Structure 1
């Protein structure tokens, strides 16, 4: 039985808690938030036999904890990940692990040094429906692909203006990288605020160039109901030998054939399941939760952020 503390008790914690408490080899022993009321609300909703605390140190003093789920806001997440590892705990983190490559690599090295697992949620890239789309174009040569992901948020939460790149764009980068084994060699990015819709609203565009001549264009952001897409986004791709489209839910068209995908658990359930399989069975960390592969996406994200600030096309040294 692996004993886990959930650190950060906002809305997304409810999703994690449902999956954690359903696992026969997991016990949630602590709920941690700087706002103790938030931890107590989650405790009441989840109906778990767990202590509530305002710090990880306090939780460790009150309960047996072997791993933490790090759901703190992006600005605090890297330091919480480091603290968890330093305290000898495994860390299951939400994306992005960091927004720059060097700190991500440092955290991965730290996990190796202390002999603890560090895994990252990569649910959009490894969602079953999107994976079917990836398989439909696999091995068919260079792709010309496009995607769009728009989310309607009534309240920004931790988000402020110009955060759509790190919050949504990192998903798009992870999804685009799954379309080819070739490395990213260049990126362009723009982001425009849309304060007339909401303080946190905006539009991001990404153009990723790969070493095999694959080009992926993506646009997305926080907007209203008119632009809203499924959470996985909508994707399409052309190759020299055919095309494919994915509606972000259950419809996949390959050439002229429409395929209705079988119902499947959402990507986040599969990713959490993979993390727990690693912790309870000691298996090799799969790509769906790999911090090392995620750090490569962070390198692309960092280049996109630089492009955003300079307006330039940023070249990468064959990031893969």
Structure 2
């Protein structure tokens, strides 16, 4: 297959990172950008030699695949339209704002027979990949599991359309579902409060993931966008396996039952590079991506359940 013609919708901080990565990614050729900002369009034309549009609909006929990196409330509308036009789509997380929107996007991808991938980037963090591999090697079948994750960082004024659950915590919600696939869940606690915005900026939740015929996983997550420094840690206990990963520093430690903690080597690679390379490879090979629309919808559904619980508690 020839080089994949790729485009990016939205040229904010994340959209720009996608464009920069595509511009140097083997197997892909960055050809188009869609953004309402005229200055950014001119800059993109100069920097990457791409065609630019103010309307994402004009990408049709110019691209084979796109990243949608707009504000969250636009994700579903844009993704659904491009999918119906036969364009492969990687949409930044969260997939949509509502479960109904997510279902429409997934249906559009299936009807058109094209690839839909959700940008849960931590799945491609080398530290998480190593932690998950170690856990599966030590515990080949699902065991009773305990997962804890802490994700904190400073407030980003550009992210104003969603709360911290859909902004930050959804990363760890997705990781918990990746480590312990589930058919359902029970929420035990969900607390949150606004600090620097009108939405929930700090949240702590606890839930159990249920799988038919398999032991459950108890999950505790803390997310805050009010911290001065960034911290992203996930800890897992399953059977006799104990492991933890510093996702920000890309470090992993394991401690088999009765043994001392030891650090494992981790390949230092940029998660976004790995994510986009996987998306391009999936499209070119016609295979399902590691994070299909259904995975994004499951993370969104659990996140929205937690948001509703916080609202009802408040």
Range into which the TM-score falls when normalised by the shorter chain: 0.7 to 0.9
Given the two structures, how large is their TM-score scaled by the length of structure 2? 0.86
Residue 253 of structure 2 corresponds to which residue in structure 1? Answer: 253
* Structure 1 position 94, deviation (Å): 0.6
Alignment partners' CA distance in 1, 2:42 and 2:13: 13
* Structure 1 position 39, deviation (Å): 2.6
Given the two structures, how large is their TM-score scaled by the length of structure 1? 0.85
Query: Kindly tell me: are residues 39 and 280 of structure 1, through their superposed partners in 2, closer, same or farther at Cα, counting changes over 3 Å?
Result: same
Q: 3-state SS of the aligned residue for 2:207?
A: strand
Alignment partners' CA distance in 2, 1:86 and 1:180: 32
Alignment partners' CA distance in 1, 2:282 and 2:132: 25
Residue 63 of structure 2 corresponds to which residue in structure 1? Answer: 65
Unmatched tracts of structure 1, length 5 or more: 313-320
8 Å Cα contact 1:3/1:67 also seen in 2: yes
Residue 195 of structure 2 corresponds to which residue in structure 1? Answer: 194
RMSD: 2.3
Residue 218 of structure 1 corresponds to which residue in structure 2? Answer: 221
* Structure 1 position 274, deviation (Å): 0.8
Give yes or no for the alignment of 1:206 onto 2:210: no
8 Å Cα contact 1:121/1:272 also seen in 2: no
* Structure 1 position 238, deviation (Å): 3.2
Query: Kindly tell me: are residues 253 and 96 of structure 1, through their superposed partners in 2, closer, same or farther at Cα, counting changes over 3 Å?
Result: same
Residue 132 of structure 1 corresponds to which residue in structure 2? Answer: 130
* Structure 1 position 273, deviation (Å): 0.8
Aligned equivalent of 2:279, options 275, 278, 289: 275
Query: Kindly tell me: are residues 207 and 54 of structure 1, through their superposed partners in 2, closer, same or farther at Cα, counting changes over 3 Å?
Result: same
Unmatched tracts of structure 2, length 5 or more: none
Alignment partners' CA distance in 1, 2:237 and 2:25: 41
Alignment partners' CA distance in 1, 2:18 and 2:281: 15
Alignment of 1:1-320 (within 5 A): 1-44=3-46, 47-60=47-60, 64-138=62-136, 139=139, 141-153=143-155, 155-160=156-161, 163-187=163-187, 188-195=189-196, 202-211=201-210, 212-225=215-228, 228-229=230-231, 233-248=232-247, 249-255=249-255, 256-282=260-286, 284-287=287-290, 289-311=291-313
* Structure 1 position 112, deviation (Å): 1.2
8 Å Cα contact 1:156/1:200 also seen in 2: no
Query: Kindly tell me: are residues 116 and 240 of structure 1, through their superposed partners in 2, closer, same or farther at Cα, counting changes over 3 Å?
Result: closer
Alignment partners' CA distance in 2, 1:10 and 1:250: 25
* Structure 1 position 279, deviation (Å): 2.0
8 Å Cα contact 1:253/1:259 also seen in 2: yes
* Structure 1 position 50, deviation (Å): 0.6
Alignment partners' CA distance in 2, 1:225 and 1:9: 26
Q: Deviations over 1:261-317 (max 9, x none)?
A: 2333222221111110022232x1232x311222111221121122122129xxxxx
* Structure 1 position 88, deviation (Å): 2.8
Query: Kindly tell me: are residues 59 and 244 of structure 1, through their superposed partners in 2, closer, same or farther at Cα, counting changes over 3 Å?
Result: closer
Q: 3-state SS of the aligned residue for 1:301?
A: helix
Q: Deviations over 1:162-193 (max 9, x none)?
A: 61111112111001112223444212422211
Q: 3-state SS of the aligned residue for 2:124?
A: coil
